[in-house]
Chains A and B, each alone.
Chain A
């Protein structure tokens, strides 16, 4: 039986065949720590690649929470960190693979929608479902509204563009407070978007 004690000290096999732990000299762990740090650097690099690959889709959770502030980590802590990062990387790659597969299926569906829109009435695919950045969605809709619906004239339409950004009053205030030469931010329906009340009174 080989026993490895908690401080990772070595054990020796005695010539008689019996295993007896000895008070061994603590080995120099610096090389092991260096090797673990190299592994952690590689894992961090690969995790970074996964995060970038996931953009602009839903962000991947790759955090491996550590507490206690900056310090020199011991061998055990480095091993735990390496293992946690490795698990995170495996999960991230699995998530990306699943997402890629789903996006591929959605691309095929979009092609089918284009070829035969009547079979996919009102089916809607967001750009995000296909891994395409930006806002918008493909939807099978009837041409000319109700008439098209009755006549069976169906088409795939791509709605485009993200909602226009309306500057908030708080942003205006950040740039040096309300100014008379700046338009008061208002929604299309005339409702205010928050911010200092006095700037919204005409």
Chain B
């Protein structure tokens, strides 16, 4: 599997002034699609046994999940309604009795998230133009291109390439940017907030790549 070195994404200057620790880190890799591997299933089972009800409740007091909760509050999201990625995964594990294997890529992202608390997302590298970054949505901007692309409210925080918005921060991805069977290269990215050490972000990306190559 060919993997690029982790690269720092850009952050809109005004946004960076408000949130000086906000970062986006990205890496590209070959798309290894397909079903869940036995190794990933075993890994997820191990993680399931580590995270029970009490641990899920106490998650919010752990430093990294707490940092994402606080950031959710700071950007106007209620983490008890629009859950942080790690809490959403923990809730899913409690509801279903275990972390569910859903496919090679999904498993890799879930493993990285549960192991580190740092979310990693994947996009189709071929559908992106230039480096990814974070910025507020512009006037009359839409999420993706095409007639069916939904409108974005001005100021909504988005992940964007050098051309247009490709995903809402912690939210939905623009049509045509998701990873599909036709995807050849992946763009994995992670968003770090105040309170999340850089090493955890690198670790999350490394783990997701390891799990992909497993």
Contact = CB atoms under 8 A, between A and B. Distances in A.
Nearest to A43: B73
Contact of A62 (B57, B80, B96, B170): B80
A69 B77 contact: yes
Given A69-B156, A174-B100, A52 B76 contact: no
A72 B75 contact: yes
B13 to A, nearest CB: 13
A70 B169 contact: yes
Given A44-B66, A48-B66, A55 B61 contact: no
A70 B60 contact: no
A73 interface: yes
B77 A52 contact: no
A7 interface: no
A68 B76 contact: yes
B80 A72 contact: no
Secondary structure type dominating chain A contacts:
helix
B77 A66 contact: yes
A51 B60 contact: yes
Contact of A70 (B58, B100, B168): B168
Given A70-B75, A70-B76, A73-B76, A44 B18 contact: no
A41 interface: yes
Contacts of A44: 66, 69-70, 73
B60 A37 contact: no
Interface residues of B, number: 33
Interface in B141-160: 153, 155-157
B34 interface: no
B171 interface: yes
B97 interface: yes
Contacts of A49: 61
B15 to A, nearest CB: 7
A83 B146 CA distance: 42
Contacts of B61: 45, 48-49, 52
Interface string B111-140: 000000000000000000000000010000
Interface of B: 14-15, 17-18, 53-54, 57-58, 60-61, 66, 69-70, 73-78, 80-81, 96-97, 100, 136, 153, 155-157, 168-171
Given A33-B18, A71-B153, 16 more contacts: A48-B66, A52-B60, A55-B57, A63-B80, A64-B78, A65-B81, A66-B76, A69-B77, A69-B157, A69-B168, A70-B157, A71-B156, A72-B14, A72-B18, A72-B75, A85-B73
